[in-house]
Amino acid sequence: MQFEKQVEIHVPREKVWKFIWDIDRFIACVPGCKDAKTVEEGKRYTATMVEKVGPFKVEFPTTIEVLERAELSHIKAQASGADNKIGSRMKIDLDVNLREQDNTTVVSFVAGVDILGKLAALGHGIIKRKADQVLDEFAQAVKTTLEGDN
Amino acid sequence: MLKRFRLEEPESVADVSELLGRFGDSAKIYAGGTELLLAMKEGLVHYERLINVKNIKGLGEVAGDNGTIRIGALCTHHELENSPLLQQKLPSFVKLEQNVANVRVRQAGSIGGNICFAEPHADPGTLFIALDAVMVAEKSSSKREISASDFFVDAFETSLATDELLTEIRIPTPGANRRSAYLKFGYLERPSVGVAVALTFDSAGVNDVKIAVGCAGPAPRRVTEAEALLNGKSKDEAVSLLAQAGAVAGRASEAISDLHGAQDYKEHIVGVLLKRAFNSIVS
Amino acid sequence: MSKQMTRHADTQSISVSFTLNGRSQEIEVEPHELLLDVVRDRLGLTGAKRSCDVQVCGACTLLVDGRPVSACTTLAFEVRGRSVMTIEGLAEDGKLHPLQNAFIEHGGFQCGFCTPGMLLASKALLDENPDPSEAELKHFMHGNLCRCTGYKKIIESIMAAAKEMRNR
């Protein structure tokens, strides 16, 4: 599943960039994500992702690896985790690009989301919808948090 | 194989509500089990406790009075398809029930469980919306009514509170010229698309049109925009507007591309079924 | 609040008295035990098959109070006070049921895997509707799947049995 999102944040790019690497604040913007830990600054993080569709709950202990990083402009990262209780795995390939115009930072990201295992029984459409909702909420939360800082 | 769980067997709504309040997410109401046990066997959910509600008296009847048909939440599909009252007053619902899954599912599955599990490909919710049904939700100290169109929030999600039990479904008894139809289409075990239409048809044309679509998207939805197109029209005018109403309803279905069909395919089928359902009512 | 329960340390046991193929049966089950496992593994009646395990195929069909249920998705405690028939109980006093005879005579058995379910479901049908049309038969039986050969011989067998039973 491929998702493309774009969010315009009315703060300068340096501030957005700094925020992204403030792992606790950043993770707080990911719906259902908690317990963020830095394993290796700028390279490797862990967190727990909890998502829910009606009565169906998954909890993915997740490892986030930063694969590429170009100062102020680009991040490529991969998040992956498994819920052994439910027997499901997830992988998110994230490609984030930042550009600035007129004091506004345009953050665009492409997320490739793969959900494997029993969770797939819920149906591709339901999972896709959920992932889309999570990404929208995330983008909105980042915007709200950063703009609220001003 | 199922994992171990404890069974609670309360005999009153108040006791159910108390158990739900006490055990929260670790307990689940169990009636027919046709959806719940499948999800549990698959390992998608586990509960420490199931609360068997089948010993509660008075939730398994169909009755009619003062212009309302009352369907107890514990009625099985089999009981509903064989209810003389429903056969007389709501033939569209009886036909729907006759075609739910298969004979074994209809034997075990309850209408309340079907509604509360809110599986996106279930039939009854869609027709309930078109029939102006009201869901009665009860807990220890209170009772409230939720219209069918407000009941279905999302896939597998309803507007019931965690300590509430659905006890009854109330449907206004249709008047002499009030008619309804539910049509579905699919090629897998569960339907890809379901469309329900209810309307009053007499010398004044078609009025009080209700249209709902289900199965295609995350939850059954009422389509007021399509209703408005047909409302107050003569039969012929309405028929000429069906393609337009169908397109509106297709978009409103929030159709999802999945194994049951692509989004545009499902939207198209919504239109086809709407047309057929409408024509079956007014012909 | 609870009834018929005795509690051990961490397991819950439910006493289930029921009629199995015409004889009374007592058994203790845990809440999570499925009827199919109890009948096959604990009571040794292996006629009912586990196949799809999701109430679609009908290979695990049993009759509870004369009505077909999927034993794969029925909790065993649910048969408290009820009458259960498995395929082993269809023949009476060593004499085959007319449906069984018809399945033999008209080639309805085929590979045999779906047959116990086919026989019990069709018994339930003929008990409530002794003279079904082919459309009624198909509607009632559409949840019993054959995956080896097809339905023609099965339908012929059931129709022949219905006729035989009406003429008795």
ipTM: 0.95
Position C1 confidence tier, pLDDT thresholds 50, 70, 90: very low
Å between C92 CA and nearest CA of chain B: 25
Q: Which of B6, B103, B189 sits opposite C68 (nearest CB)?
A: B103
Residue A36's nearest CA partner among A83, A90, A79, A86 is A79
DSSP run (H or E) holding B265: helix B263-282
Query: Which residues of chain C does B78 touch, with a Cβ-Cβ cutoff of 8 Å?
Result: 67
- pLDDT value at residue B71: 98
Question: Are the beta carbons of C62 and C88 closer than 8 angstroms?
Answer: no
Å between A85 CA and nearest CA of chain B: 8
Interchain pair B4, C30: CB under 8 A = yes
* Closest residue of chain C to B108, computed from CA coordinates: C69
- pLDDT value at residue C9: 54
Is the pLDDT reported for residue A114 higher than 60?
yes
Selected for mutation to probe chain B from A2, A53, A134 (highest B CB count within 10 Å) is A53
Residues 6+ apart with CB under 8 A from B145: B134, B135, B136, B137, B170
Q: Which of A121, A124, A129 sits opposite B42 (nearest CB)?
A: A121
Query: Which residues of chain B does C74 touch, with a Cβ-Cβ cutoff of 8 Å?
Result: 33, 108
Is the pLDDT reported for residue A148 higher than 70?
yes
* Closest residue of chain A to B28, computed from CA coordinates: A55
C34-48 pLDDT, tens digit per residue, is 999 999 999 999 999
**Burial class of residue B141 (count of CB atoms within 10 Å of its CB; 0-12, 13-18, 19+):** exposed
Residue A6: C-alpha distances to residues A97, A110, A141, C107, C131 (Å): 9, 9, 13, 65, 65
Residues 6+ apart with CB under 8 A from B259: A123, A124, B188
- pLDDT value at residue A150: 61
Q: Does C38 touch chain B (CB under 8 A)?
A: no
Average pLDDT of chain B is: 97
Q: Which of B9, B11, B38 sits opposite C73 (nearest CB)?
A: B38
A17-58 pLDDT, tens digit per residue, is 999 999 889 999 999 999 999 999 999 999 999 998 889 999
Neighbours of C112 (CB within 10 A): 11
Position C7 confidence tier, pLDDT thresholds 50, 70, 90: very low
Q: What are phi and psi of B41, to 5 degrees?
A: -65, -40
pTM attached to this predicted model: 0.93
DSSP run (H or E) holding A51: strand A44-53
Count of CB pairs separated by less than 8 Å, A with B? 53
C85-113 pLDDT, tens digit per residue, is 999 999 999 999 999 999 999 999 999 99
Q: What is the mean pLDDT of residues B101-109?
A: 98
Residue A13: C-alpha distances to residues A46, A102, A146, B277, C74 (Å): 25, 11, 11, 56, 60
